[in-house]
Amino acid sequence: MPSRRQPFFRTYVFSLDHKVIGIQYAITGLLFLLFGFSLMMVMRYQLAYPMTPVPFIGGLLSQANASGGILLPEFYNQLGAMHGTVMVFLGVVPLAIGGFGNYLIPLQIGAADMAFPKLNLMSYWVYAVGGLIMIATFFVPGGAAQSGWTSYPPLSVIASGGQTWWLVGMLFLITSSTLGSINFIVTIVQLRAPGLTWMRLPFFVWAQFAAAFLLLLAFPPLEAAGVLQLMDRVAGTSFFLPSGLVVAGQAVTSMSGTAEGTLASGGGNPLLWQHLFWFLAHPEVYVLILPAMGIVGEIIANNTRRPLWGYRGMVYSVGFLTFMSMVVWAHHMYITGMGTTLAAFFQTTTMIISVPSIVIITSLLMTLWGASIRFTTPMLFALAFLPMFGIGGLTGLPLGLAPSDIHLHDTYYVIGHFHYLVAPGTIFALFAGIYYWFPKATGRRMNDLLGRIHFWGSLVCMNVIFMPMFIQGLGGMNRRLYDGGLQFQHNADLLKWNVVIGIAAWTMGLFQVPFIINFFTSIRWGAPASANPWDATTLEWATTSPPPHHNFDTPPSVYRAAYEYSVPGAERDFSPQFEPERV
């Protein structure tokens, strides 16, 4: 433990050190991931055994949420909306970007800290407060947001009070995200060490750089939309409420665009929200996957003892992917009655955007070809990422084409598709990253046996959870049904899968326990780690584990590309970027 003259709060709570802030983001993100997963574990009971009391939890819930321990539909919807929101905005992105990005970027580029440390501090706390606001909505009258993580109007406009606070929370999160992305971009552009040219950057840094641009440019339209929805809810405007809207037999808006009496004016357009929302939310999914690709790239290069195959192609693919991700958003809206020209445009761009992802995954596979692979725990997670991402990506193709999407939209097929990408995709990559960089951050290694149990258990459970969803979706089972599809006859043969999925979900919950135990006990009792326990080449391994406050005792210089492994003629099988002479 480094000695500090600064008081406790300055060192651990309101620190300006990117490493502390990164760990704060990571731990908060992990806690939110656990919370979001717990919401789903409760939902899965209702889906597996509809209209039966939920064990343990059912007794703890208030009558407003679960009468007699049986989840009420409104509460189920709250769980659903908050599961998505918490996982995406409070869990994965803060961990992947705020956690990994903050901790590693300055280290990997040889800088002492981020370009704007105070801004960094502010980003974290604005996120933390925004997150707390969102969670607190479970306790307001009417409960939390319950119109899906997508908050489509008119439903979201007429929904209970929690939705307003969801919008306020989003404003906080978007602010945090914008400030953070500015910090990342300026840091990467301006603070690279001498000799660290663009094409010598670790792939992880490129991925974070691209994700930062997406966050910077794609989030603000959602902020605009959030303000508009707030105005609709709080100031009685009709940005999203069409004319002549009737809810439960009662007129909500007037027939024309002028307010009469207590009716809202009408004249709005629900599709406006959808466009503005998906303008962000599509790039958002690339924000979810890019850091994962970055992490997997680092770990695969290191554990195959080879340079990344096609590094330059991977970098160009990341750039192309970033750009394309901003012109595909309406593939989430094929069934809204758009004209064929618009649909054709978005189908075309959606098909094109699969290409850079394929280039990246193929390059990673080619790196494996003929390599002598070290099956370390991080490598297991990184390897699993590849086929899991493959399944997720391939199942996206029928969704990207309008004719097939018409049948699959809003079914469990979609849920299976995107979860394969985020859950055994991104989250596995994040686990890989934790096992890989834990020694650097703490100076101790995590336990290998617990890591392998965590890996195998999670891998099997993930597939048992999400594979049946394709079957359910193809059979026509709708998503967001609080009774798991019981009410529709065509779902009858598909209901049994809900039991399978539920059991797999709870089992997966159990398999996270070894990880949690491993994480906390290794901080204290893990095997001590040297500065470079994995024999890696990038700059973060040039300094001690953990690094000092200013990261590098002597500012490093970079002498070669990022993945000089197994260079013919060299004595060792790796030549670090920061060593002048190839030894």
Partner 1 sequence: MQIPYTTEARPDTGLYNAKLGIWLFLASEVMLFAGLFSSYILLRTGAVEWPHHVLPVGLATANTALLITSSMTMVMAWEALKTNNWSRHRACLGLTVALGVIFLLIKFVEYREHIAAGELPSRNTFFALYYTLTAVHALHIVGGLVVMLYLLGPGAKLWAEQPVQFTNRVESTGLYWHFVDFVWILLFPLLYLL
Partner 2 sequence: MRTSADTAPDTRRHVATFALQLVLMLATVAVARLDLGVRLSTTAVMLLAAVNATVVAVALMGVRRDGPLVRMLVVLTLVVIIGLLVWPAWDTATRVRVF
Q: Is 376 in the site for partner 1 (CB under 8 A)?
A: no
**Residue 563 binding partner 1, by CB under 8 A:** no
Cis? peptide before 154, omega within 30° of 0 = yes
Among 227, 394, 449, 510, binds partner 1 (CB under 8 A): 227
Is residue 534 a contact partner of residue 573, using CB atoms and an 8 Å limit? no
- Quote the least distance from Cβ 316 to partner 1, whole Å: 21
Residue nearer to partner 2 on the CB measure, 342 or 492: 342
| Coil vs helix vs strand at 574 | strand
Helix (H) or strand (E) holding 514: helix 513-525
Burial of 246 (0-12, 13-18, 19+ CB in 10 A): exposed
Q: Which does 102 bind (CB under 5 to 8 A by kind): partner 1, partner 2, none?
A: none
Per the structure block, which two tokens stand in for 148? 């899906």
- 437 - beta bridge partners? none
| Structure tokens belonging to residue 165 | 């606070």
Tell me if 348 contacts partner 1 by CB under 8 A. Answer: no
DSSP string, 71-108: EPHHHHHHHHHHHHHIIIIIIIHIIIIIIIIHHHHHHH
For residue 213, the minimal CB distance to partner 2 (Å) is: 8
Q: Is 245 in the site for partner 1 (CB under 8 A)?
A: no
d(CA 440, CA 532): 8
Residue 80's closest CA among 3, 148, 172, 152? 148
Query: Per-residue x/- mask for partner 1, residues 493 to 532, rule CB under 8 A?
Result: ----------------------------------------
According to DSSP, the residues that pair with 70 across neighbouring strands are 67
Would you say 161 or 242 has its CB closer to partner 2?
Answer: 242
Q: What angle do CA 506, 446, 521 make, to 5 degrees?
A: 75
Eight-class DSSP state of 334: G
The binder of 550, among partner 1, partner 2, none, by C-beta within 5 to 8 A per type, is partner 1
Residue 185: what are its φ and ψ, rounded to 5°?
A: -65, -50
Per DSSP, what are the bridge partners of residue 250?
A: 247
Which entry of partner 2, partner 1, none binds 81, CB below 5 to 8 A by partner kind? none
**Site of interaction with partner 2 (CB under 8 A):** 189, 217, 221, 242-243, 268-272, 275, 279, 326-327, 330, 336-339, 341-342
| Least spacing, CB of residue 329 vs partner 1, in Å | 13
Using CB under 8 A, pick the residue from 56, 73, 136, 190 that binds partner 1. Answer: 190
Cα(92)–Cα(25) distance, integer angstroms: 10
The residue from 173, 264, 402, 481 that contacts partner 1 (CB under 8 A) is 264
- 231 touching partner 1, by CB under 8 A: yes
Interface region with partner 1, contact rule CB under 8 A, candidates 126-134, 211-219, 343-351, 471-479: 211-219
Q: How many residues in the shown chain lie near partner 1 by CB under 8 A?
A: 49
* Residue 342 contact among partner 2, partner 1, none, beta carbon within 5 to 8 Å by kind: partner 2
Judge contact between 115 and 183, C-beta under 8 A.
Answer: yes
Least distance CB 280 / partner 1 (angstroms):
9
Between residue 274 and residue 293, which ones bind partner 1 under the rule CB under 8 A? Answer: 275-276, 279
Question: Quick check: 385 and 292 in contact, CB under 8 A?
Answer: yes
β strands within 178-248, DSSP E: 246-247
Query: Which range, of 7-15, 126-134, 176-184, 292-300, touches partner 1 by CB under 8 A?
Result: 176-184
CB of 448 to partner 1, least distance (A): 36
Contact with partner 1 (CB under 8 A): which of 257, 406, 530, 573? 257
- When the beta carbons of 147 and 349 are compared against partner 2, the nearer one is 349
| ω into 546 cis (within 30 of 0) | yes
Nearer to partner 2, 310 or 319 (CB): 319
What does the radius of gyration of the chain's CA atoms come to, in whole angstroms? 24
Smallest distance, Å, CB 136 to partner 2?
Answer: 33
CA-CA-CA-CA dihedral for 484, 488, 491, 496, to nearest 10: 50
Which one of partner 2, partner 1, none interacts with residue 337, CB within 5 to 8 A by kind? Answer: partner 2
User: Rounded to the nearest whole angstrom, what is the least distance from the CB of residue 205 to partner 2 in the complex?
Assistant: 17
Helix (H) or strand (E) segment spanning residue 251 = strand 250-251
Interaction of residue 112 with partner 1, rule CB under 8 A? yes
For partner 2, the closer of residues 222 and 308 by Cβ is 222
Residue 313 binding target from partner 2, partner 1, none, CB below 5 to 8 Å by type: none
3-state secondary structure 62-76: CCCCEECCEECHHHH
Partner that binds at residue 228, options partner 1, partner 2, none, CB closer than 5 to 8 Å by kind: partner 1
* Nearest distance from C-beta of residue 11 to partner 2, angstroms: 36
CB of residue 364 to partner 1, shortest distance in Å: 30
Orientation angle between helical segments 18-48 and 428-442, nearest 10 degrees: 150
Q: Name the helix (H) or strand (E) containing 250.
A: strand 250-251
Q: What is the binding site for partner 1 (CB under 8 A)?
A: 111-113, 115-117, 178, 181-183, 185-186, 189-191, 216-225, 227-228, 231, 235-239, 256-259, 264-265, 267-269, 271-272, 275-276, 279, 549-550
